[in-house]
């Protein structure tokens, strides 16, 4: 589905554009005769040929290895570039914060991975409200019993589950010897947070397979997010996607 690309009117708030661009809409800039030298430095430019090459390279790499990518959208926060990634085969878009997630949702991204723990109770409740849209899927991480308890409390009245990736490890996160399901009982009392997978990192990737094997109904390989064996953002092996 095409994303909703913002088309704001340029004004004083528009960084880098000359005064005579005021009043233009973003969609009108291409035909306005502006030159790169008209813009106030520093200016970051995107070369379409190089961008296409990078997209082909990254998604070709993923296709060869049988993984689906959820590239980080937080780098650009540009729905037009997210659209290109989704058209190229991205499984979803990754972000770092609930605010960034809502920007992506407002733009029309249907699968959003918050590659972070969400510990703001109000933000969790907001995510729960957004999940009333049955076309939307949101995932986030949890690396502590306290974090899981916040998710459980915030999702108590949500219409649908929030998919949660539980981070297991020794140096940080939930200790492997004390599984989060056996903690203070909050997840058991509040079912909406759903244990979906295990984000792998440099500290945990060698153990994640053994840990997953002891859990009920695990995905076949789990989810990889910026591990040392995957240097191109966040990815999920196809075999482990539940739908």
The model's pLDDT over 8-61, given as tens digits with 9 standing for 90+, comes to 999 888 888 998 899 999 899 889 999 989 998 888 888 999 999 999 999 999
**Residue 239 pLDDT class (50, 70, 90 cuts):** very low
- Cα 42 from Cα 172, distance rounded (Å): 39
User: In sequence order, what are the residues at sequence separation of 6 or more whose Cβ sits closer than 8 angstroms to the Cβ of residue 6?
Assistant: 26, 79, 107
* CATH, domain range 48-240: 3.20.20.10
DSSP 8-state code for residue 11: -
The model's pLDDT over 24-37, given as tens digits with 9 standing for 90+, comes to 998 998 899 999 89
- Cα 115 from Cα 189, distance rounded (Å): 25
Average pLDDT over residues 92-105: 96
Average pLDDT over residues 223-233: 35
Instruction: Report CA dihedral (26, 75, 198, 181) to the nearest 10 degrees.
Output: -80
Give me the pLDDT at residue 122, please: 96
Q: Going by DSSP bridges, is the β-strand pair 234-237/223-225 parallel, antiparallel, or unpaired?
A: antiparallel
**Residue 202 pLDDT class (50, 70, 90 cuts):** very low
Q: How far is CA 69 from CA 14, 50, 85, 232, in A?
A: 32, 19, 9, 8
Give me the pLDDT at residue 30, please: 87
> Of 19-28, 92-101, 183-192, which gets the smallest average pLDDT?
183-192
Residue 189 has pLDDT above 50, yes or no: no
DSSP 153-173: HHTTT-SSPEEEEEPEESSSS
Every domain of the chain and the residues it spans: 1-45, 48-240
- Residue pair 9/17 in contact (Cβ under 8 Å)? The answer is no
Residue 194 has pLDDT above 50, yes or no: yes
What is the percentage of the chain residues whose pLDDT exceeds 90? Answer: 52
**Residue 92 pLDDT class (50, 70, 90 cuts):** very high
Q: Which residue has the higher pLDDT, 158 or 13?
A: 158
Q: Which residue has the higher pLDDT, 189 or 16?
A: 16
């Amino acid at each position: 589905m095409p994303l909703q690309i913002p088309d704001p009117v340029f004004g004083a708030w528009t960084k880098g554009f000359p005064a005579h661009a005021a009043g233009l809409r973003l969609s009108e800039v291409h035909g306005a005769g502006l030159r790169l030298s008209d813009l106030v430095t520093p200016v970051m430019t995107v070369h379409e040929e190089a961008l296409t090459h990078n997209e082909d390279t990254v998604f070709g790499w993923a296709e060869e290895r049988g993984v689906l990518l959820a590239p980080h959208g937080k780098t650009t926060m540009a729905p037009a570039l997210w659209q290109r990634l989704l058209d190229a085969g991205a499984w979803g878009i990754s972000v770092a914060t609930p605010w960034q997630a809502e920007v992506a949702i407002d733009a029309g991204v249907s699968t959003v991975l918050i590659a972070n723990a969400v510990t703001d109770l109000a933000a969790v409740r907001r995510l729960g409200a957004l999940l009333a849209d049955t076309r939307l899927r949101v995932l986030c991480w949890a690396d502590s019993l306290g974090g899981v308890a916040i998710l459980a409390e915030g999702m108590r009245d949500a219409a649908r589950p929030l998919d949660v990736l539980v981070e297991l490890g020794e140096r940080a996160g939930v200790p492997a010897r004390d599984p989060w399901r056996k903690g203070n009982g909050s997840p058991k009392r509040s079912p909406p947070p759903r244990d979906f997978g295990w984000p792998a990192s440099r500290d945990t990737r060698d153990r994640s397979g053994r840990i997953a094997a002891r859990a009920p109904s695990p995905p076949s390989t789990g989810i990889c997010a910026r591990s040392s064996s995957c240097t191109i953002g966040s990815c999920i092996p196809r075999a482990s996607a539940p739908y």
